A = this chain, B = another copy of it.
Amino acid sequence: MRVLKFGGSSVATPQSVEAVLSIVKQSAEKRPIAFVVSAMGGITDMLLMAGRLATVQSEEYKQIIAEIENRFLEYVRHMLPITTQSATLSMVKQQINTIEEICNGVFVLQEMSPRTSDRLVSFGELITSRIISAKMEADGIPHAWIDSRELIKTNSKFGHAAVSFSATNRLIRKCFEASTERIAILPGFVASDDFGNTTTLGRGGSDYTAAILAAALSASRLEIWTDVSGMMTADPRQVRNAKPIESISYQEAMELSHFGAKVLYPPTVQPVMRKKIPLWIKNTFAPADHGTLITDSAHDGSEKISGLSSISSIALLSLEGAGMVGIPGFSKRLFAALAGEGVNVILITQGSSEHSICVAISESDEYRAVNAVNQAFHSEIAEGVVYPIKSERDFSVVALVGNSMVNQPGISGRMFGALGRNGINVRAIAQGSSERNISTVISTSDLRKALNVLHESFFETSYK
């Protein structure tokens, strides 16, 4: 058994669906497969937009729904032979009708709850997968369409529901054991709670659907088919010479995908990582390309560094004061203040002297973070033993990722040497003992240069 997942761009057009089905058929010749599809590219955003326009009393939502309808109808018309279109066209129209009713309801009530939002966006995957199922039917590919909502059970936290794994695994196994088809197609992203309400799995949701299935079925492989030929040594938009990565460990893949290469959303990988199921990143539009193989065992060879990742719009907070010296509990109070505001900490660094601690956060969290920390240390600031928090914007984090960096003496020298020689000022550095990366904070205006000089130094020259 293999599980394949095709993203929104892979099912965006009738042509790309042909490519998908050719991959699916070939794969299913040798073994049973389950394949998970995202919504046709762009549809999810349009559904959300329709709901939001209705919420704010803009009648434009009707136009968006008309566009959605049009896209699906065109999709069907170009994909299916005329003779078999009518049932599917009618299904699409019926679903669009429900979408319309929901948006009308939202319009009248002037609000859209997370529950309604989940219900609304679920139509993207549901309709897309049903059309593809109809196409397979028309093409004579025997298969089963399975409603993921009947397999994947979650709590009722709409918008980012948590999976109930014991129930889910039981339902998945029961369903597939009972199935007689070699191919199953399932909509990604959607699930349901104990009351039967539709829920969704949040960011990266279709990957997660596929990983859950793969883990529950102890699949021999999970394939994530997308529109690039795997993970790259750096963001190709920033670094012209970026190269694909052939193989990589789960850990490195998570580090790299944290920013930069948005190929994978790390938490979604967990179910397969725990069961050590190999994960391939493949390109639907270039299936012969090697792609990236992600496994538990790290790659062995001579090359030691996997890639570069980066994130922009970073604010650097520095808390400083003689009052911090030797007081256990200072860090706790700082992080309690940040956690209380739901601020996600991207990078922490505190040098040996303990007179200051520095954290990098998203610029969007800056305002709340600064307020919360200043309030938490209100009395120390008033007494003058701690300074008001200092905050600076327009920074980026660049991270060099590699599995065995810990034991390679020259890497940090090479990294900072390259940055220094090129006049790139490093504002903060963090490298933890067990980590697979060295993270540096630099000015965003230096980002492109930094990525290129580092890429050149580590990936375009043979070193050591």
For the complex formed by this chain, how many copies does it contain in all?
A: 4
Say yes or no: A328 contacts B357, CB within 8 Å: no
Q: Tell yes or no: A392 within 8 A of B by CB.
A: yes
Say yes or no: A347 contacts B352, CB within 8 Å: yes
**Can you name the residue of chain B whose Cβ is closest to the Cβ of A102?**
B108
Q: Tell yes or no: A68 within 8 A of B by CB.
A: no
Complex Cα spacing A119 to B320, Å: 36
Say yes or no: B426 contacts A429, CB within 8 Å: no
Say yes or no: A273 contacts B322, CB within 8 Å: yes
With contact pairs A108-B104, A409-B424 given, residues A331 and B345 touching in the complex (Cβ less than 8 Å): yes
Chain B residues with CB under 8 A of A415: 416
With contact pairs A352-B259, A412-B429, A420-B411 given, residues A270 and B322 touching in the complex (Cβ less than 8 Å): yes
Complex Cα spacing A430 to B108, Å: 52
| A contacts, CB < 8 Å to B | 101-102, 104-109, 111, 113, 115-116, 119, 251, 254-255, 258-259, 266-267, 269-270, 273-274, 309, 311, 316, 318, 320, 322, 325-326, 328-332, 334-336, 338-339, 341-358, 360, 384-385, 390, 392, 397, 399, 401, 406-439, 441
With contact pairs A254-B355, A384-B274 given, residues A409 and B399 touching in the complex (Cβ less than 8 Å): no
Say yes or no: A430 contacts B433, CB within 8 Å: no
With contact pairs A322-B266, A419-B413, A429-B430 given, residues A437 and B352 touching in the complex (Cβ less than 8 Å): yes
Say yes or no: A322 contacts B412, CB within 8 Å: no
Residue from the set A109, A331, A414 with the largest chain B CB neighbour count within 10 Å: A109
Complex Cα spacing A357 to B437, Å: 11
Say yes or no: B101 contacts A108, CB within 8 Å: yes
Chain B residues with CB under 8 A of A437: 351-353
Chain B residues with CB under 8 A of A385: 270
* Closest Cβ–Cβ distance, residue A56 to chain B (whole Å): 12
Say yes or no: A410 contacts B406, CB within 8 Å: no
Complex Cα spacing A360 to B329, Å: 15
Complex Cα spacing A409 to B422, Å: 8
Contact residues of A: prevailing secondary structure: mixed
Say yes or no: A432 contacts B358, CB within 8 Å: yes
**Can you name the residue of chain B whose Cβ is closest to the Cβ of A101?**
B108
Say yes or no: A431 contacts B429, CB within 8 Å: yes
Complex Cα spacing A104 to B384, Å: 45
Say yes or no: A410 contacts B420, CB within 8 Å: yes
* Closest Cβ–Cβ distance, residue A92 to chain B (whole Å): 19
**Can you name the residue of chain B whose Cβ is closest to the Cβ of A413?**
B420
Residue from the set A384, A406, A414, A431 with the largest chain B CB neighbour count within 10 Å: A431
Chain B residues with CB under 8 A of A355: 251, 254-255, 258, 266, 435
Say yes or no: B255 contacts A318, CB within 8 Å: no
Chain B residues with CB under 8 A of A335: 329, 331-332, 334-336
Among candidates B107, B116, B344, B419, residue contacting A111 with C-beta atoms closer than 8 Å = B116
Say yes or no: A325 contacts B267, CB within 8 Å: yes
Among candidates B266, B320, B348, B426, residue contacting A434 with C-beta atoms closer than 8 Å = B320
Among candidates B109, B328, B423, residue contacting A106 with C-beta atoms closer than 8 Å = B109
**Can you name the residue of chain B whose Cβ is closest to the Cβ of A310?**
B352
**Can you name the residue of chain B whose Cβ is closest to the Cβ of A384?**
B274
Complex Cα spacing A330 to B354, Å: 21
Complex Cα spacing A119 to B430, Å: 46
Complex Cα spacing A345 to B353, Å: 10
With contact pairs A105-B108, A417-B417 given, residues A354 and B350 touching in the complex (Cβ less than 8 Å): no
Say yes or no: B409 contacts A413, CB within 8 Å: no
Complex Cα spacing A390 to B433, Å: 10
Chain B residues with CB under 8 A of A413: 413, 416-421
Say yes or no: B439 contacts A433, CB within 8 Å: no
A-B contact pairs, 15 of them (CB 8 A): A102-B108, A105-B107, A106-B109, A259-B352, A266-B325, A267-B325, A274-B384, A331-B338, A335-B335, A353-B436, A355-B435, A409-B424, A414-B420, A428-B432, A428-B433
Chain B residues with CB under 8 A of A258: 325, 352-355
